[in-house]
Structure 1
């Protein structure tokens, strides 16, 4: 098995899900007598809250280089938003970063989806690090909620979900956003916050949900077991 480097901490709830489920899925494939080699570096979530792009880029590069030096064959960033550092970090290291948008794009392509609503925090919804990959590699269009809802979504993610708080009020808010995006011709929804699949499941709606956490984990497992 190949050694995987994990960059976690944003949030630690999501990091646990990545570590647990990568081990679980690998065990389902090869048996529980073995588990995959992984190196985990957990970053203080306060870094992302500052939203200082230069500091974020520098930190993710520093950690990625350390993971490479420690023997990681690839890197998984255990959250959506920190992928904003991908374009800066990837050319400066010698191992691949498995991009979360490619995990979503592969599944959308498999399902024949062409227009995806994107839910998450403000940097994820308003940034280009997911839409640009989906557009350039998969010809998939991305849409986000109306401006007046973005702050509400960001507050739920930052002040509740990443703190391990999952309320019925938050669930109904995001389900309403899904309905609005579907009404505006989205044929699928990206749950672009690692904690959103802990709040909403496919049983809650008829429109296909692309849970980036689960899809990213599947990509990580495929890499670990690749020859």
Structure 2
């Protein structure tokens, strides 16, 4: 098995979910007698709250280099928003970062979806690090909630979900946003906050949910097992 580096901490709740999923999925393939080699570096979530892009880029580059030096053969960032560093960090290291948008894009393409609603915190929804890859690599259009709802969505994510709080009020808010996005033509919904799949389940909505956590974890497992199965892995 290949060694994978995980950058977590934003939030630690989602990092636990990634660690759990990766181990479970590998176990399904090779049996419970073994588990994958993983190196985890947990970043203080306060870094993201400071919204200092230069500091965020520098920190993620420093951590990525440490993981590479420690023997990681690829890196997975255990959250959506920190993928804003991808274009800065990836050219400066010698191992691939497995991008969460690729995991979402491959699933959406398999489902035949051409227009996706994107839910998450405000930096994820208004940023281009997910829509750009979806449009360029998979010809998928991305839409986000109306501007009046962006701040409220961000509050639920940053003040509740990333703190491990999952309320009925938050669930109803995001279910309402899904309905509004569907009315604007969304054929599926990207749950672009790693904690959102813990709040909203597929059986609660009538259109496909593209749950980035599960798909990203599967992408990680495909990499970990790729040498054993095929001798190579195809990356973007």
Category of TM-score, reference length = shorter chain: over 0.9
- Matched residue, 2:166: 166
| 1:15 alignment counterpart | 15
> Is residue 59 of structure 1 aligned with residue 59 of structure 2?
yes
Report the equivalent of 1:204. Answer: 204
Moved over 3 A (4+): none
For residue 103 of structure 1, what is the aligned residue in structure 2? Answer: 103
Structure 1, unaligned runs of 5 or more = none
Please give the alpha-carbon distance, in whole angstroms, between the structure 2 residues aligned to 1:137 and 1:51: 28
- Secondary structure, aligned partner of 1:118: strand
How far apart are the structure 2 equivalents of 1:144 and 1:94? 34
Partner Cα distance (2:187, 2:95) in 1: 34
What residue number does 2:230 align with?
none
| Cα shift at 1:205 | 0.2
Show structure 2 runs of 5+ residues with no match: 228-236
Instruction: Kindly state the Cα deviation for residue 91 of structure 1 after the two structures are TM-superposed.
Output: 0.1
Tell me the SS of whatever aligns to 2:95. coil
Q: Secondary structure at the match of 1:226?
A: helix
- Residue of structure 1 equivalent to 2:144: 144
Q: Deviations over 1:175-217 (max 9, x none)?
A: 0000000010000000000000000010110110000000000
Describe how 1:72-91 pairs up with structure 2 within 5 A: 72-91=72-91
Q: State the distance in 2 between where 1:185 and 1:135 align.
A: 16
How far the C-alpha of 1:174 sits from its partner, in A, is 0.1
- Superposed, 1:206-221 pairs within 5 Å as 206-221=206-221
Separation (CA, whole Å) in 1 of partners of 2:184 and 2:127: 20
2:135 is matched with 135
Per-residue CA shift, 1:102-145, capped at 9, x if unaligned? 00000000000000000000000000000000000001000000
The aligned residue for residue 177 of structure 1 is: 177
Distance in 1 of aligned mates of 2:225 and 2:103: 16
CA RMSD after TM alignment: 0.3
Q: Per-residue deviation at 1:7?
A: 0.1
TM-score by length of 1: 1.00
CA distance in 2, matches of 1:127, 1:53: 12
Q: What is the rounded CA distance, in whole Å, between the counterparts of 1:120 and 1:46 in structure 2?
A: 18
Secondary structure of the corresponding residue to residue 6 of structure 1: strand
Counterpart position of 1:50: 50
C-alpha distance in 2, partners of 1:8/1:158? 16
Provide the residue aligned with 2:68 in structure 1: 68
TM-score, length of structure 2 as denominator length: 0.96
Give the deviation of 1:66 after TM superposition: 0.3
Match in the other structure for 2:155: 155
In structure 1, the residue corresponding to 2:2 is in which secondary structure? coil
